[in-house]
Chain A
Amino acid sequence: MIVAENLRVEFRRRLFAPKLQALIGLNLDVRDGDFFALVGQNGAGKSTAMYCMLGLLAPTSGKIEVMGRTPDLGAPANEQVAYLPEEPHYHLYLTVEEATRYYSTLYGRRVPESTISDVLDRLGLGPFRSLRLSKCSKGMKQKVGIAQCLIHETRLLFLDEPTRGLDPLVVREFREALREIHKRGTTVVMNSHVLSEIEMLANRVAIIDAGRVVLQDDLQNLLTLDKESYGVTFTPVGDVPSFITSVERVGDLVRGSVPKERLYDFMEYSRTAGATVQECSLKRSSLEDSFFKVVNEGRATA
């Protein structure tokens, strides 16, 4: 669906300012039907990568193809693309209803008024349809962005920090809507800082750091990345053995990590010292754990 090979993007913020390298040989492969998440710190290059996929930014070098074509401004292939921007860069002089109608008509088809009313009502924007976007809160603007994404059934949906500024109720509804859209066959590419949200939605993840993809894999592989250690929680007696790492004290309890090969040593310690073991299980790392591990390893290698 999307292939990026050795993508480089350099630009100047001002005339005569030194060149910034936003992407340095980025490689990416988004398959048809993926719910693909781009993860990275601020300035890592996630949004730049997405702008290249959308045709808003021409790469300095490298190749990018979306649905078999090089993306371009207003290309006919955009008929199959919906995009929700990170910042509410909308036409602020239009009302909620006018903006929704305008954005949906840019697909070259007139959208029935009933469909526009329906989507605005579903997002709770019905009572505010005559309000200009300049007067709307950030969350309401975001909802307008969501509305224009939901009106047309597209093959590809780009979401740049989609739940920023939304209230928890709408976030949950929106997540459900995304799952449903993905289930219907739409490929979703999402940028987000909310790693828990990505864990809930995505099936594939690319971790971007300093303009390059440091890891691209199925989410499940990232979540079970740390198969080599056990997470333990116990009431200590005497000193905590040195083979237990990442020790954290919570009241009378100690939480820590035991390497797989030292599991029997831990059992022996608890039996001989009389420590009460509350929990001992194969450690499943969260996406957050994997993210920091991969980024730190990448930087150490570099």
Chain B
Amino acid sequence: MSAASTALPNRGLIPVQTPAAAVPPANAFFVILRANFVADVKFLRRSRLIMAFVLVFLVITVLSLLPSAFGQSEFKSFGTMEQIYGELRLFLAILAGGMGLFLVSFHQRDRSLKMVFTKPCTPANWLLAAMLSASFVSFVLNVVICAVMVGLSYGWHLAVRPGLMFLACESVIVDIIVISTMTLLASLVHPAVAATVAILFNGNLFYSFLQWSLQTIAEGNKTLKMRALEHFFHALYMIIPMYSPFGKHIDSVDGSYRVEHGQWKYLAFSLGYALTFALVAYLVALLSLRRKRHI
């Protein structure tokens, strides 16, 4: 390493400096956004934790595919493919959460953001790039996995159904919601707390609490405390993000890979919900990021 110092050329350190523009270029925001985006994608590609997670899941998937390599014809069924794709989509959702969490918490904790915010790069720009890069990587992985499943369908002589594309799109939407949730939590609390909250306090938990309180009220316990509890659980259930907001309308696709005529619109509704939630999460995370001390 010491060669770096001994090789110092005797020409002075100052290069031809780029003078600062009196007025920032019109596309400055996008130039900075692109720089942040590229840096974030490099972070995701080089993060050992994320890479280890990907490898573990890939090994599990490959092991589950091994029986087909030995020619067990009953294994090459639609059911098996459905199971593998389901597992891979779950893996992608967890990975998406990890990406959102690490992108924000890593940069906050290693204090490298002070190198970013002391330049004309706003927290809004940096946060947008973080969410976009995680969503982009998630999108690419979804496309790759969808392509693998199409390849597997051909290999196993199964019909390639439009449901495969439908589920891939739904998976991207779910990932956007997961990324937004984890980005928001990572900007508010310690990453370990964020992960715990995301795992424990999900929609299902508060839905079951809500159901329990409704059932208790229906059974005759109509006390003020119980009613207040019911409203509280209802409010929490509404606030907690839903990963599959129109799940009951599109659940049938998962089992058959067939898409009925009216089901595509729910994909659009889900996208609308995901983008709205992402916007809210972005604004709250931005507020939190602006209030933090980046020193």
Query: Is the A/B pair a real complex?
Result: yes
The answer, yes or no, to whether A173 is at the interface (CB within 8 Å) is yes
**Residue from B4, B7, B24, B35 whose CB has the most chain A CB atoms within 10 Å:** B4
C-beta contact mask, B107-140 vs A, less than 8 Å → 1, else 0?
1001110111111111111100000000000000
Q: With contacts defined as CB atoms under 8 Å apart, how many contacts are there between chain A and chain B in the complex? A: 189
A74 and B120 contact, CB distance less than 8 A: yes
> Interface size (B, Cβ < 8 Å)?
56
CB within 8 A of A180: which of B11, B12, B20? Answer: B12
3 closest Cβ contacts across the A-B interface? A108-B28, A74-B122, A177-B13
**Residue from B46, B117, B118, B124 whose CB has the most chain A CB atoms within 10 Å:** B118
Task: Name the interface residues of B15-37: CB closer than 8 Å to any CB of A.
Answer: 15-21, 24-25, 28-29, 31-32, 34-36
Given contacts A78-B120, A167-B5, A170-B8, contact A110 B16 (CB under 8 A): no
- Report the minimal beta-carbon distance from A276 to chain B, rounded to whole angstroms: 46
Given contacts A94-B39, A122-B13, A154-B20, contact A136 B118 (CB under 8 A): no
The answer, yes or no, to whether B75 is at the interface (CB within 8 Å) is no
Given contacts A56-B114, A123-B8, 18 further A-B contacts (CB under 8 A): A54-B118, A56-B294, A74-B117, A74-B125, A76-B24, A77-B120, A85-B114, A91-B39, A106-B119, A122-B8, A122-B9, A122-B14, A123-B13, A127-B7, A153-B17, A155-B20, A169-B8, A176-B12
> Interface size (A, Cβ < 8 Å)?
72
The answer, yes or no, to whether A234 is at the interface (CB within 8 Å) is no
Q: Can you give 22 contacting A-B residue pairs, CB < 8 Å?
A: A54-B118, A57-B293, A73-B294, A79-B21, A79-B120, A85-B114, A91-B107, A98-B39, A108-B24, A110-B31, A122-B8, A122-B11, A122-B12, A122-B14, A124-B3, A124-B7, A124-B8, A146-B13, A150-B17, A151-B15, A152-B19, A177-B14
Chain B: residues with CB nearer than 8 A to chain A?
A: 1-9, 11-21, 24-25, 28-29, 31-32, 34-36, 38-39, 42-43, 46-47, 107, 110-112, 114-126, 290, 293-295
The residues of B that contact A151 with a CB separation of less than 8 Å are 15, 17-18
How far is it, in angstroms, between the C-alpha of A77 and the C-alpha of B39 when the chains are bound?
Answer: 23
Task: Name the interface residues of A134-148: CB closer than 8 Å to any CB of B.
Answer: 136-137, 139-140, 143, 146, 148
B118 and A174 contact, CB distance less than 8 A: no
How far is it, in angstroms, between the C-alpha of A32 and the C-alpha of B18 when the chains are bound?
Answer: 21
A124 and B110 contact, CB distance less than 8 A: no
How far is it, in angstroms, between the C-alpha of A123 and the C-alpha of B13 when the chains are bound?
Answer: 6
How far is it, in angstroms, between the C-alpha of A160 and the C-alpha of B126 when the chains are bound?
Answer: 24
The residues of A that contact B38 with a CB separation of less than 8 Å are 102
B42 and A94 contact, CB distance less than 8 A: yes
- Report the minimal beta-carbon distance from A162 to chain B, rounded to whole angstroms: 12
B117 and A80 contact, CB distance less than 8 A: no
The answer, yes or no, to whether A107 is at the interface (CB within 8 Å) is yes
A124 and B15 contact, CB distance less than 8 A: no
The residues of B that contact A124 with a CB separation of less than 8 Å are 3-9
Given contacts A150-B14, A153-B18, contact A103 B8 (CB under 8 A): no
How far is it, in angstroms, between the C-alpha of A127 and the C-alpha of B6 when the chains are bound?
Answer: 12
Task: Name the interface residues of A61-90: CB closer than 8 Å to any CB of B.
Answer: 73-81, 83, 85, 87, 89-90
